[in-house]
Each structure stands twice: as structure tokens, then as C-alpha cells.
Structure 1
Amino acid sequence: MPESTPSNPPTYDYFEDPLFLKTSDQPTVVLSSFLFEGHDFLGWKQEVFMSLASKNKDGFLDGTCVKPPITDKKFKQWFRCDFMVTKWILNSLDKLVRENLKYVKSAEELWAELLERHGSANAIEIYQLKKDLNAVIQDNLSLLEY
């Protein structure tokens, strides 16, 4: 990186800053193509994580985007971003799932709660996936159509 001088001020890449919110980052954003209703958690989780990573907000899920002390000038900015990420995740949940999670205090707490409740392999879901996989047949379809 070139040295900054009065005629060459340092540049700042806002998109690399996890605390940066674009004007299009609204609380009504939904992060997944489908609402999580209690099944297909792994697919939903992958979509949500990819959406947040593309916005450089995945650090709010695992705690790597650390909450600064209340005296830090970035505290309010961190708090605002954390609330935004929390709201985006809640918007990506079905009403019944969301109802039990709306009082969490942070995106990290919400994500941990979702992982604890739905992240472990479910015997019924595994059975259904195996059953669905066994039912897949090519029939008279070409490979491309299949």
C-alpha cells in the first residue's frame, strides 16, 4: 500500500469493514430463498451464512466481530449492525420458529440458539432424506433433463 501524504490521503475500503451498512441494508431484508419452518435447517443455514458473508457480516454469528466497550466510539455502530443482522435472521424464520427467539440479545446468541435447537442431525430428517434419495429415478429422461 502506498504511503499516505497530504496529496495522497489514505483510502478506506468501507466494504471491508464489517460495521459498514449500505443504504440498501434495510431491516426488512430476508437472507434465504425460503423461510426456515423447522426442517431443512442445513440448507437454510448455508443460504443465510452465504448471504451474511457476502455482506461481510458473518463475524456477528461466531463472535469474531467483537463487541467494543461501551466507551469506544464504534460501540453504537457495532450495536446497530448487530441489531440489523439479528433482524435479517429473524426475517428469514417462519413466524412459529421466530416467536420463541425474538428476545435474544445479539446475532451471536440467536445463531447459537438456532444451532443448538436445529443443528444436530435429526434421525427423522435423515430417514426422510434417505427415503427421498431412494425414490429418485431417471426413467426415460435424458441425463440433462434428469
Structure 2
Amino acid sequence: MPDTVSSTSSGFDYFEDPLYLSSADQPNATLASFQFDGHDFLGWKQEVFMSLASKNKDGFLDGSCSKPHVTDKKFKQWFRSDIMVTKWILNSLNKSIRENLKYVKSAEELWEELLERYGSANAIEIYQLKKDLGALI
């Protein structure tokens, strides 16, 4: 099926299906303009989220595209999509961070681990920077 076709005669829109992967969706793709190296987590996170949302894959991050039971006919399709999202995120991390996270079991688990490790630290850093900037004015 060509990527330019978004629906069939049945009216099903493939691009609305978060499990749909086009031929352009390759595992070596990156989601951000820079690899996350421990700095600017908020900027990196925003770029990754926007990239995944544009591919209708943001549900893999928050669990809203939930894993079906292994007997469900959509399980293999979900599994392939989840692996692809996980791979894209891992490709957007520098090697030292990627090495510590490569054994996660899902994109959601990877995302939660990144938020836990780097999300709160950046909030504290931003607060301190704003405080320091305010003291300069």
C-alpha cells in the first residue's frame, strides 16, 4: 500500500491508527535535532514528543495505546510499533545514556525511566536559573 493513500474504500484511515507503520518508518530514525546527553532534557523531550505525536505514536509514551493481550490479533502489530518507538527514542539518546536503558521492555517504560531520571532534575535547574536571573535584574 503506498504511503500517499490514507484510507481504503472501506473508509479506514491508516494514519489515524497508532499501530500503523509506513514504509518510511525506519528503526534507525531519530526524533530530535540532537541526541540527549544529560543536558536540556526539556528541549529534547519536547522535540521527541512532537515527533511521535506527528506519527500518532505519542500514546506509546503515556500508555494510552495499551498493550493488548498476547492472544489478541492486534498484539503483534502493537509489539512491532512499540519496538519501533522504543528504538527511535533510544536512537535519540547519546551512547552512554542509551547503554543504561537498552534493556527496557517497552516505550512507555523507557519514557517513564527517562522522566524519572532527568525530568525532575531539570525542573530544579530551571527554577535555580530563573532565580539567579531575577537576582541579576
Measure, in 2, the Cα distance between the counterparts of 1:10 and 1:97: 45
User: What is the alpha-carbon distance in structure 2 between the residues aligned to residue 83 and residue 133 of structure 1?
Assistant: 44
- 1:1-146 aligned within 5 A: 10-122=10-122, 123-124=124-125, 126-127=127-128
Count of residues paired in the alignment = 127
TM-score, normalised to structure 1's length?
A: 0.80
Q: Deviations over 1:87-146 (max 9, x none)?
A: 0000000001111000000000000000000001444565457768999xxxxxxxxxxx
SS at match of 1:120: helix
Larger radius of gyration: 1
Letter in 1 for 2:54: S
Normalized per residue, the structure richer in helix is: 2
Query: 2:115 is aligned with what amino acid?
Result: L
Q: Give 1:4's aligned residue.
A: none
> Which SS does the other structure have where 2:101 is aligned?
coil
Give unmatched runs, 5+ long, in structure 1: 1-8, 136-146
CA, structure 1 residues 128+15, in 2 after alignment: closer, same or farther (shift >3 Å)? same
SS at match of 1:119: helix
Residue matched to 2:6: none
| Stretches (4+) displaced over 6 A | 129-135
Cα distance, 1:132–1:36 mapped onto 2, change above 3 Å: farther
Residues 134 and 97 (structure 1 numbering): CA distance in 2 closer, same or farther, change over 3 Å? farther
1:42-88 CA-to-partner distances (Å, cap 9, x unmatched) read: 00000000000000000000000011111111100000000000000
